[in-house]
C-alpha cells in the first residue's frame, strides 16, 4: 500500500502554500481526492500521480502518490518530468495568439497564406481509402479552423474513416515520420484529403501542429525556440521543452500502458517516441515534456488573464476570447463534432481557441462552472482553469490511453465538493 505525500512547499510553482480554509476550501474534503486517487495506485491502475489545486493564486493542495518509475522504485518529486502530449496544444495556441495580438494574422486569414500547399488540399466525398472520391474545397481553410479542430484534418490513430487509413499509410499513425521537419510534416498533411469542408464539423486532429508551423513561418523561428523565448523563459518554465536532455534523464517518469482487459498499468517504453532526442519537427499538437511546477505557472498565467508574476503574455480580453466557444451557433461538441477520441467530454462542452470550454455543467453531468476551460494529454495528464471559482487544477501521471479511467470528471467533482465558501 502506498501513502500520499505532500509535495515540497519549496517547489518552484511561484505560488504560496496556504491552509485550504484561507481560500474557502475544506482540507478534510480535499483529502477525499487523495484517498480516491491513492486507490488507483494501490490497485496498480497507476504507477503514481501528482496533483496541484490552487485557488486565488494560492496552493490549497499539492500532493503525490506512488512512483515515477515503479520498476526502479523511483519516487515522484517536485521536478519529475512528464510527457504532456496534447497539453502542448494550449501552449501553441497561446504562442499563436501572441502573434495575433501583434497583428501578424487574422483568424479569417486563409491557412494557405502561410502554408501554400493547403490551397490545393482536396476534400473526401466518398469511396474507400483505395478509391476515394475527392472534390475541391468550397470554403478555404482559415486560421480559426486550426485553433478549433474544424479544419477537416484528422489523426491516423482514429481508425474510423478512410482518411485515417491514408494518414497511417503516409506514416502518420502516431506522430509523424521522424525525418521530417515541421514544414515537411505540413506538406505531407496537405497532400491527404480533408475529412470535410473546412469549418463544417469538429474533429480532433493535427490542426494545432499546422498552427505551430504558422508560428514558425510568421516568427522566422523554430517553434521550440519561439516557445522558449516568448513563453517558457519569461514564465520561469525551466524544464519544459520538446525533449528531455541527457542531464535530466533521471528525472523523466516512466511511461505506462493500460492492459486492454484488466486496465492494469504496464510498462510502455515502446510507446515513447524518442523523448530523449530533439525531434526533427516541434509538433505544436504534442511532444512537450514538462513538470508540475512549470505547468502550474502556465495555468496560473491563464487564470490571471495573461499575466504571471509581473510578466504579461496576453491581454485579459484575448484570454477571455480564447476561452469562449468558437463553434458556430454556440453549439456543443455533440452537435458539431464527431464522437471519436478527444481529451474532453462532448455533451455541454464547446471549443475555444486551443482548449475545451464548458457551456453547461448540467449537460456534462460533471461538477464545474460555465466557462471553465482546459485540456489534457494522451498519458492522462490534465489541467483546468475555472475563472468563476478562481481555481487552477493540474494533474500529472503517465498512463496511456487517457480515457482508461474517469480521472478528469472525478477530479472536477472532488475539487468542487471541497469548496465551502
Nearest-angstrom CA–CA distance, 388 and 390: 6
pLDDT in tens, 212-262: 999 999 999 999 999 999 999 999 999 999 999 999 999 999 999 999 999
User: Using CB atoms within 10 A of its CB, is residue 112 exposed (0-12), middle (13-18) or buried (19+)?
Assistant: middle
User: What average pLDDT does this structure show over 3-14?
Assistant: 68
Residue 96 lies inside a defined structural domain of this protein: yes
> Which residues have C-beta within 8 Å of that of residue 28, sequence separation ≥ 6?
none
User: Using CB atoms within 10 A of its CB, is residue 291 exposed (0-12), middle (13-18) or buried (19+)?
Assistant: buried
Is residue 273 very low, low, confident or very high in pLDDT (cuts 50, 70, 90)?
A: confident
Nearest-angstrom CA–CA distance, 125 and 301: 43
Domain around 231: 78-250+267-396
Question: What is the bridge-based pairing of β-strands 288-291 and 265-267?
Answer: unpaired
Residue 334 lies inside a defined structural domain of this protein: yes
Beta strands in 250-365 (DSSP E): 256-258, 265-267, 288-291, 307-308, 311-312, 349-351, 356-358
Cα torsion 149, 154, 157, 160 to 10°: value is 110
pLDDT of residue 2: 67
Q: Could you tell me the CA-to-CA distances from 102 to 9, 210, 227, 259 in Å, in that order?
A: 38, 20, 16, 47
| 343: CATH | 3.40.710.10
Nearest-angstrom CA–CA distance, 394 and 54: 9
Helix (H, G, I), strand (E, B) or coil at 322: helix
Cα-to-chain-centroid distance, residue 294: 14
* CB-based contact 372:386 (threshold 8 Å): yes
Give the other-Cβ count within 10 Å of 200's Cβ.
16
Question: What DSSP assignment string belongs to 96-138?
Answer: HHHHHHTTS--TTSBGGGTSGGGGG--EEEEE-SSSEEEE--S
User: What average pLDDT does this structure show over 146-153?
Assistant: 98
pLDDT of residue 9: 53
User: Using CB atoms within 10 A of its CB, is residue 236 exposed (0-12), middle (13-18) or buried (19+)?
Assistant: middle
* CB-based contact 36:43 (threshold 8 Å): no
User: What average pLDDT does this structure show over 275-304?
Assistant: 96
Compute the mean pLDDT over every residue in the chain, rounded to the nearest whole number: 95
Beta strands in 237-315 (DSSP E): 256-258, 265-267, 288-291, 307-308, 311-312
Residue 15 lies inside a defined structural domain of this protein: no
- Is the bond preceding residue 377 a cis peptide, omega within 30 degrees? no
Nearest-angstrom CA–CA distance, 380 and 397: 6
Strand partners, 357: 350, 373
pLDDT of residue 338: 74
Kindly state the DSSP code that residue 356 receives in the 8-state scheme.
Answer: E
Helix (H, G, I), strand (E, B) or coil at 39: helix
Nearest to 374, CA basis, from 364, 383, 363, 365: 383
pLDDT surpassing 80 at residue 22: yes
pLDDT surpassing 70 at residue 165: yes
Nearest-angstrom CA–CA distance, 279 and 45: 30
Residue 43 lies inside a defined structural domain of this protein: no
* CB-based contact 411:382 (threshold 8 Å): yes
User: What average pLDDT does this structure show over 78-100?
Assistant: 98
Residue 219 lies inside a defined structural domain of this protein: yes
Report how many domains make up the chain: 1
pLDDT of residue 74: 96
pLDDT in tens, 363-398: 999 999 999 999 999 999 999 999 999 999 999 999
* CB-based contact 137:143 (threshold 8 Å): no
**Model-level pTM?**
0.97
pLDDT of residue 172: 96
pLDDT of residue 1: 63
Residue 192 lies inside a defined structural domain of this protein: yes
User: What average pLDDT does this structure show over 46-53?
Assistant: 98
Nearest-angstrom CA–CA distance, 99 and 223: 13
Contacts 24+ apart (CB under 8 A), 330-338: 330/359, 332/359, 332/360, 332/363, 333/202, 336/150, 336/201, 336/202, 337/201, 337/202, 337/203, 338/160, 338/201, 338/202, 338/203
User: What average pLDDT does this structure show over 311-322?
Assistant: 98
Residue 234 lies inside a defined structural domain of this protein: yes
Is residue 178 very low, low, confident or very high in pLDDT (cuts 50, 70, 90)?
A: very high
pLDDT of residue 341: 66
Nearest-angstrom CA–CA distance, 94 and 353: 9
Q: Say what percent of the chain tops pLDDT 70.
A: 97
pLDDT of residue 340: 67
Residue 411 lies inside a defined structural domain of this protein: no
Rg (CA), the chain: 20
pLDDT surpassing 60 at residue 46: yes
pLDDT surpassing 90 at residue 11: no
Is residue 270 very low, low, confident or very high in pLDDT (cuts 50, 70, 90)?
A: confident
Amino acid at each position: 500500500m502506498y501513502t500520499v505525500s505532500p509535495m515540497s512547499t519549496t517547489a518552484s510553482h511561484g505560488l504560496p502554500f496556504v491552509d485550504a480554509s484561507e481560500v474557502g476550501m475544506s482540507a478534510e474534503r480535499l483529502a477525499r481526492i487523495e484517498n480516491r486517487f491513492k486507490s488507483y495506485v494501490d490497485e496498480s491502475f497507476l504507477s503514481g500521480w501528482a496533483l496541484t489545486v490552487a485557488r486565488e493564486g494560492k496552493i490549497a493542495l499539492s500532493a503525490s502518490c506512488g512512483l515515477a518509475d515503479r520498476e526502479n522504485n523511483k519516487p515522484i518529486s517536485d521536478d519529475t518530468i512528464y510527457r504532456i502530449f496534447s497539453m502542448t496544444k494550449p501552449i501553441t495556441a497561446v504562442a499563436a495568439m501572441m502573434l495575433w495580438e501583434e497583428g501578424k494574422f487574422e483568424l479569417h486569414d486563409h491557412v494557405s497564406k502561410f502554408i501554400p500547399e493547403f490551397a490545393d488540399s482536396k476534400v473526401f466525398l466518398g469511396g474507400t481509402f483505395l478509391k476515394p472520391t475527392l472534390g475541391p474545397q468550397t470554403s478555404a481553410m482559415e486560421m480559426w479552423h486550426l485553433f478549433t479542430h474544424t479544419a477537416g484534418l484528422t489523426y491516423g490513430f482514429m481508425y474510423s474513416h478512410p482518411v485515417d487509413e491514408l494518414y497511417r499509410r503516409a506514416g502518420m499513425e502516431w506522430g509523424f515520420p521522424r525525418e521530417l521537419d515541421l514544414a515537411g510534416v505540413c506538406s505531407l498533411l496537405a497532400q491527404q484529403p480533408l475529412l470535410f469542408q473546412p469549418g463544417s464539423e469538429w474533429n480532433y486532429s493535427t490542426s494545432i501542429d499546422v498552427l505551430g508551423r504558422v508560428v514558425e513561418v510568421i516568427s522566422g523561428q523554430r517553434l521550440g525556440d519561439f516557445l522558449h523565448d516568448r513563453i517558457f523563459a519569461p514564465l520561469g518554465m525551466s524544464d519544459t521543452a520538446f525533449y528531455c536532455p541527457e542531464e535530466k534523464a533521471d528525472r523523466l517518469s516512466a511511461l505506462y500502458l493500460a492492459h486492454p482487459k484488466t486496465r492494469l498499468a504496464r510498462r510502455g517504453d515502446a510507446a515513447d517516441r524518442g523523448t530523449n532526442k530533439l525531434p526533427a519537427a516541434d509538433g505544436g499538437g504534442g511532444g512537450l515534456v514538462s513538470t508540475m511546477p512549470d505547468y502550474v505557472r502556465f495555468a496560473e498565467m491563464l487564470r490571471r488573464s495573461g499575466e504571471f508574476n509581473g510578466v504579461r503574455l496576453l491581454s485579459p480580453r484575448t484570454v477571455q476570447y480564447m476561452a469562449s466557444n468558437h463553434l458556430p451557433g454556440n453549439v456543443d461538441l455533440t452537435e458539431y463534432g464527431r464522437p471519436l477520441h478527444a481529451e474532453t467530454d462532448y455533451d455541454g462542452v464547446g471549443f475555444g481557441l486551443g482548449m475545451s470550454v464548458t457551456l453547461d455543467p448540467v449537460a456534462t453531468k460533471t461538477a464545474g462552472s460555465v466557462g471553465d476551460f482546459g485540456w489534457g494529454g494522451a498519458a492522462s495528464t490534465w489541467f483546468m482553469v475555472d475563472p468563476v471559482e478562481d481555481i487552477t487544477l493540474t494533474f500529472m501521471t503517465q498512463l496511456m490511453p487517457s480515457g482508461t479511467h474517469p480521472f478528469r470528471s472525478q477530479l472536477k467533482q472532488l475539487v468542487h465538493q471541497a469548496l465551502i465558501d
